[in-house]
Structure 1
Amino acid sequence: MKATKLMTTATVGALLFGMSAAAHSANWRYAHEEFEGDVQDVFATAFKEYIEENSDHTLQVYRFGELGESDDIMEQTQAGILQFVNQSPGFTGALIPEAQIFFVPYLLPTDEETVIEFFNTSVAINEMFPELYAEQGLELLKMYPEGEMIVTLDEPFTTPEELRGKNIRIMTNPLLSATYQAFGASPTPLPWGEVYGGLQTGILQGQENPIFWIESGGLYEVSPHLVYTGHGWFTTAMMANQNFFDGLSEDEQQLVRDASEHAYEIIIDHISGLAEESLAKIQEASDEVTVTRLTEEQIEAFRARAPQVEEEFIEMTGERGRELIEQFHADLEAVRADD
């Protein structure tokens, strides 16, 4: 497991030093949730390079653990300590309940081409979500997909019944908890820093993540049975502190938007083939790993439980959640109609 350096008082103190007139600072700060070379880091690096090549600003990128866990970096962004943050809806869901829509199982397709077209054209993502984030003091710059979600367990499974009694680690997200309850498991919300140890000691029997993160974090070492359930894609969002963004000149705001678009194009190219490469690395590194790809018939047993999760999402989010679900379905229909 990769070593991580958690946030210290000295680190935060250094960030706070000289924060007056942050909007005009020549050194901007950006934190994300992943390791060096992972998808969010590739996005952040592309964003940084564009900013620095097209302005006098510099950008400092902080990776997982350098400033704490996901909740810590969001708090620092809202406080104006950080100018930019990359955080998945799995953690943002407590702040923006509607963001949990990405954890309604079998809502999104799993084939890469359709997923990317959906993100490019979705009214829900490109028009509705920015308003929801703005209500929390955040300028949503880009949402993007990282990879299909894979479940790892202490033994292979093909039915919901085989998940009964299994403690599955999930992000601290109420709807994700509802998903795994529907699947028959015992969802266990934990921050990322506790996952490897929990799997290693047997406190956890499984977890879910995109395959590149399973490889990067070494999760296959302690949870070697990979199961492709087809239930969704991992999605993340890159955003700015709203006050900081509003304080920028029009030219600087456009610079930030252009850098976000540039990074998005880089990441869409980067994730193409990434899942296959990551799985190959895992299989080369361990002969204990097994791979189970559920058949359509086996998937149907899990998909049949999805409507109750969608209903719970609407109960959590009210009319706005209902409108968002309806728009998601309309956006997906439009993508499929163009195929």
Structure 2
Amino acid sequence: MSLFNKITLAAAALLLASSPALAQKTMRLAHLNPDSPFESHSGAMAAVFKNLVETGTNGSVKVQLFANGQLGKDNEVIQQVRDGIVESTISSAGGIAQHYKMVGVFDMPFAFPNIAVADKVMDKDSDFGKKFSADLQAKTGLKVLGLLDSGGFFAISNSKRPIKTAADMNGLRIRTMTLPTHETTVKSLGGQPTPLPWAEVYTSLQTGVADGQMNPIPIIAFAKFDEVQKFLSITNHVITPYIWTMNQKFYDGLTADEKRVVDNAAEVAVGAGRGISRIIEASTEKGLPKLGKKMTINAIPPAELKKFAAVAQPAVRKVIEEQLGAEGVSMLNAMLADIDKASK
């Protein structure tokens, strides 16, 4: 373990130790985003889950919330959950990828035709969701509590020019998560992928380390990227998951009734997370109307997006084949089959 990771782990342990005295069954739930249920989907999920679990178990299970990445970087907190230091976390695909590379299958560009289909497929109880969750659990030991989108389809913002055709991507330094599939998508379209941790994105955009970034509208809004970006192009090129996991040993230590409450609460909380993302996207206070006050927004016509897809899809499929092998191709094909079924 590196010195940095040791320091981060020690800081997390100190923060946890300084919390109020823990009940016999206390579930510490961490996530990256603001704690307000009206600012982010993970904030909404955490708030709803805490309320339902604590009331449903009559206080026998307490839920402590750690928002805004208080306990460390995404991948570090996932490791803490695996190690039993933290009980649960709601994680981005970028964090999960460092523990479970198969998450990259979600990154096939333009695979999901609309948000309704994404809701059906990107769910732990869908045909594909069951296969994906079981494989993740088998390889990491983590129990999957929830699977949903990270806030909607990705759009691309930048400080240089509107993106109307693939040629407009040429030379743009676009921040991505540390996902080979995302990096390949940007590179295939002529951009320069610039992988950066979430905590550094705003400053990097502000200082010009990166020209732009790609994220769902709710994340662009609460991160205040409209303060450091001039143009927003609605590409809808990818939709990535947020994956909610729990330490299996902690879950196994719950009573049957407590497990039922936790499972039901997680299901309802995921629904709340989906809903708040759609509300934020549409709201004048936090969504596209708000971003439009400072940014020039353009939507790319479907005919032009087909040209984007024709370039990006083969490149990303090749990465999946090379890095995830036959198992990855099988997982990708299972997802595409479920998308096709949900689209009918």
TM-score by length of 2: 0.88
Letter of the aligned partner of 2:119 in structure 1?
I
Q: Does 1:162 align with 2:168?
A: yes
SS in 1 for 2:263: helix
Q: Take 1:131 and 1:247, find their aligned partners in 2: how far apart are those partners?
A: 22
Q: Which residue of 2 aligns with 1:86?
A: 90
Instruction: Quote the offset at 1:238 in angstroms.
Output: 0.6
Q: Which residue of 1 aligns with 2:122?
A: 119
Q: In the alignment, which of 149, 153, 157 is matched to residue 148 of structure 1?
A: 153
Q: Which residue of 2 aligns with 1:226?
A: 232
Instruction: Quote the offset at 1:291 in angstroms.
Output: 0.5
Contact 2:41/2:272 (<8 A) preserved: no
Q: Does 1:54 align with 2:56?
A: yes
Distance 1:272 1:212, change over 3 A: closer
Q: Take 2:86 and 2:121, find their aligned partners in 1: how far apart are those partners?
A: 30
SS in 1 for 2:343: helix
Instruction: Quote the offset at 1:7 in angstroms.
Output: 6.2
Contact 1:122/1:328 (<8 A) preserved: no
Q: Deviations over 1:4-40 (max 9, x none)?
A: xx9684552242589xxx9x83321000111133111
* Fraction of identical pairs, as percent: 27
Q: Which residue of 2 aligns with 1:33?
A: 32
Instruction: Quote the offset at 1:265 in angstroms.
Output: 2.3
Q: Does 1:320 align with 2:320?
A: no
Q: Which moved more, 1:220-229 or 1:152-161?
A: 152-161
Q: How many residues align?
A: 324
Instruction: Quote the offset at 1:211 in angstroms.
Output: 0.7
Q: Deviations over 1:258-316 (max 9, x none)?
A: 111111222233233431221112224x2xx1001101122122101212211211221
5+ long unaligned stretches in structure 2 = 1-6
Distance 1:161 1:10, change over 3 A: closer
5+ long unaligned stretches in structure 1 = 1-5
Q: Does 1:68 align with 2:77?
A: no
Q: Deviations over 1:178-228 (max 9, x none)?
A: 111112111111111111111111110000111111111111111121011
Contact 1:85/1:238 (<8 A) preserved: yes
Q: Which residue of 2 aligns with 1:42?
A: 44
Contact 2:184/2:316 (<8 A) preserved: yes
Q: Does 1:282 align with 2:291?
A: yes
Q: In the alignment, which of 224, 247, 251 is matched to residue 245 of structure 1?
A: 251
Tell me which stretches of 4 or more aligned residues in structure 1 moved more than 6 Å. none
Q: Take 2:176 and 2:132, find their aligned partners in 1: how far apart are those partners?
A: 26
Letter of the aligned partner of 1:334 in structure 2?
K
Q: Take 1:34 and 1:184, find their aligned partners in 2: how far apart are those partners?
A: 31
Q: Which moved more, 1:246-255 or 1:92-101?
A: 246-255
Q: Deviations over 1:205-254 (max 9, x none)?
A: 00011111111111111112101112122320111012222233333222
Q: Which residue of 1 aligns with 2:142?
A: 138
Q: Which residue of 1 aligns with 2:99?
A: 95
Contact 1:31/1:84 (<8 A) preserved: yes
Contact 2:121/2:128 (<8 A) preserved: no
Contact 1:90/1:100 (<8 A) preserved: no
Q: Which residue of 2 aligns with 1:188?
A: 194
Matches within 5 A, 1:247-262: 247-262=253-268
Contact 1:164/1:185 (<8 A) preserved: yes
Letter of the aligned partner of 1:31 in structure 2?
A
Instruction: Quote the offset at 1:91 in angstroms.
Output: 2.2
TM-score by length of 1: 0.89
Q: Deviations over 1:107-160 (max 9, x none)?
A: 122x22222223356312123323323321210111012211111011212222
Contact 2:15/2:71 (<8 A) preserved: no
Distance 1:143 1:48, change over 3 A: same
Q: Take 2:138 and 2:257, find their aligned partners in 1: how far apart are those partners?
A: 20
Q: Which residue of 1 aligns with 2:4?
A: none
Distance 1:301 1:89, change over 3 A: same
Instruction: Quote the offset at 1:68 in angstroms.
Output: 2.0
Q: Take 2:180 and 2:18, find their aligned partners in 1: how far apart are those partners?
A: 36
Contact 1:7/1:66 (<8 A) preserved: no
